[in-house]
Chain A
Amino acid sequence: MLMKVVFSSIRYRIRLYTPMIFAVSLSLSLIGASGILQNSFDTVVEKEMRKYGANVILKPENGEVENAVYPGDEWVAIYVKTARMDGSEISLAVTDVEKLMRMNPAWVLKGEGNVIVGRELAERLGIESGDAIEVNGVKGRAAILDSGTEFDSFVILNGTAKRATMVLIRTDNPERYRSGDAIILEEMVRTKFSFLRGIEKLLLYIAGVSVVSSLITIVNLSRADAGKRRKEFGIMRAVGADTKMIGKFILTEFGILAVISALLGAIFSVILSWIILVKTADTLPDLSSKFIVTLISLSAGAFYAVSLMYLVESTRKDVVNELGGE
């Protein structure tokens, strides 16, 4: 009966609720698309890094890296929870090199420099630990990494050697690294993904404006409607419904509106981000498990805030005056 009443009420007020749902789902789709774009930067960056021959990629998941993977015939987790990717600075994956070395004794880092150079490459270029070097305009001190593997690496750092920002780039990629040049990930992101960054920021900006206008819309619409519904609350009171029961009707109704808006917002945001990512980076959206939960939470927050007006109206002691009389 509860659901029957609630769905009938929603159907009855469809003209009122449609703009509310539209306003909220529009805001959510912009916020969601922006979030998906941000989330997908990792995928975009990873894809690009692999093109350049990166052999170890620290994969961030939900803001915190759970594992790093070693791509070979199989994907093998080689490291757990040491890296974190700052959502606003996706160009850098931070890892605890010291821990990595403890876990993999074959990895030996000599020196405290901020530019790690693979042993074979260092030998070829005549670089020693502590040497002042410059890689693509980045000046620093070299730290030599002996990874104990068949490939050699550049490790480009943004910090101290043992707790560093790093990406390993294979030097056996003749197309890219014939002369031992390294690619600075920050630069790669800056040039390659500046367009995506711009879109993401634009989406966030529009989302901000949309959130404000949506809130104004739904508050205005529901403020007028809450007064009109006082009579309905009075009828429910008259047949014996108490505050808790009327509250249950209201909260269920707004909960359903929140879920509908969140689902629409999720669908629109996936479509929007899919179009942007496929067109600009040839990458599919990377949806995190928290994505839909976040949208539902935001939607529920918006609708439950509005439902407070209805709850206040329903608990007014003079609600029965709406039923007429002298």
Chain B
Amino acid sequence: MDKMIIVDNVVKKYGNFTALNGVSFQVKRGEWLTIMGPSGSGKTTLLNLIAGLDTPTSGKIVVKGKIISSMSHDERAKFRRENIGIVFQHFHLIPYLTALENVMLAQYVHSMPDREEALNALRLVGLESKAENYPSQLSGGEQQRVAIARAIINDPAVILADEPTGNLDAENERIVLEIFERLKEDGKTIVVVTHNPEVAEFGDRTLYIHHGKIVR
């Protein structure tokens, strides 16, 4: 199964507004694809569809051989917990859980929490020492690294990241991108949405999207 992600003629409409209009592309296993485009071009919508957070109006999305676009709300959630890790621009950590607990929550949802494994994941992103800190006690870069640890804790085949460095300074951006590089070396398939050309340089290939269409 060489193709990890297949997006086939996907259309997404919100009322009369067409966010995506006939988008098609494929991502190979172990590839790092960057999707670029201006604000409002449909990049995040596309990422949400690949993540199974939303469903297309028409077209088909296949991830790891499964047509997720035809799955139910709960089936997609179950598929996601097994196969997809998501990193958001705004981190989206649960505010009342510590860094460690945020990671363990993903473990709990997947199967069962394992403190040592969760600490290992935090060690991978350089945050073992801040495991007991709450998100409000962490910098933006640190929160994003916790979010990455949470995304990779269940060893998903696909990592989807929506502007993962959008809220970070240069130093933290470098740290986060290095983590993604390591994940790619481990064989993960990575899709990163960004409007930052410097981030795109880390990827194997870049798609440009504009007004809901792939332009190159």
* Contact among B77, B90, B108 for A1, CB-based, below 8 A: B108
Knowing A1-B113, A2-B108, say if A323 contacts B77 (CB, 8 Å): no
- Name the distance in Å between B75's Cβ and chain A's nearest Cβ: 8
Q: A240-B77, A323-B92, A325-B48 are in contact. List 17 more A-B contacts (CB 8 A).
A: A1-B108, A5-B101, A234-B92, A236-B109, A238-B86, A238-B88, A239-B80, A239-B86, A239-B150, A240-B80, A240-B110, A240-B154, A317-B73, A323-B53, A324-B88, A324-B90, A325-B44
Contact of B94 among A232, A315, A323 (CB under 8 A): A232
The CB with the most chain B CB atoms within 10 A, among A4, A235, A326, is that of A326
Given contacts A240-B110, A243-B73, A324-B90, contact A1 B104 (CB under 8 A): yes
What are 21 A-to-B residue pairs whose CB atoms are below 8 Å?
A1-B105, A1-B108, A5-B97, A5-B101, A234-B92, A238-B80, A239-B150, A240-B78, A240-B109, A241-B81, A241-B109, A242-B78, A320-B53, A324-B89, A324-B90, A324-B162, A325-B45, A325-B48, A325-B162, A326-B41, A326-B42
The answer to the question of B57 belonging to the interface, with a C-beta cut-off of 8 Å to chain A, is no
Closest-CB distance, A229 to chain B (whole angstroms): 11
Residue of B nearest to A11 (CB): B96
Please tell me if the beta carbons of A239 and B73 are within 8 angstroms of each other in the complex: no
Q: Say yes or no: A237-B104 contact (C-beta < 8 A), given A325-B44, A326-B40.
A: no
B: interface residue count bin? 35 or more
User: What 8 A-B pairs are tightest by C-beta distance, nearest first?
Assistant: A240-B81, A325-B44, A12-B96, A320-B53, A1-B108, A242-B74, A242-B77, A326-B44
Q: Judge if B51 is at the interface, Cβ distance under 8 Å.
A: yes
Query: B76-118 toward A: CB 8 Å interface, digit per residue (1/0)?
Result: 0110111000101110111111000100111111101100000
Number of A-B contacts (CB under 8 A): 92
Question: Is B39 an interface position by the 8 A CB rule?
Answer: yes
CA–CA, A147 and B106, complex, Å: 76
Q: Write the nearest CB–CB distance from A267 to chain B, whole angstroms.
A: 28
Tell me if A240 and B39 are in contact (CB < 8 A).
no
A297 CB–B CB distance under 8 Å: no
B212 to chain A, nearest CB (A): 10
Q: Does B43 contact A (CB under 8 A)?
A: yes
Query: Any chain B CB within 8 A of the CB of A8?
Result: yes
Docked-complex contact B105 and A239, CB < 8 angstroms: yes
Q: Using a CB-CB cutoff of 8 Å, which residues 1-50 of chain A contact chain B?
A: 1-2, 4-5, 8-9, 11-12
**Cα–Cα distance between A239 and B106 once the two chains are bound (Å):** 6
Q: Is A192 an interface residue (CB 8 A)?
A: no
Contact pick for A9, options B92, B96, B162, CB 8 Å: B96
Is B181's CB within 8 Å of the partner chain A? no
- Tell me how far the C-beta of B106 lies from the nearest C-beta in chain A, rounded to whole angstroms: 5
Instruction: Kindly state whether residue A176 has any CB partner on chain B within 8 Å.
Output: no
A contact residues around B44 at 8 Å (CB): 324-326
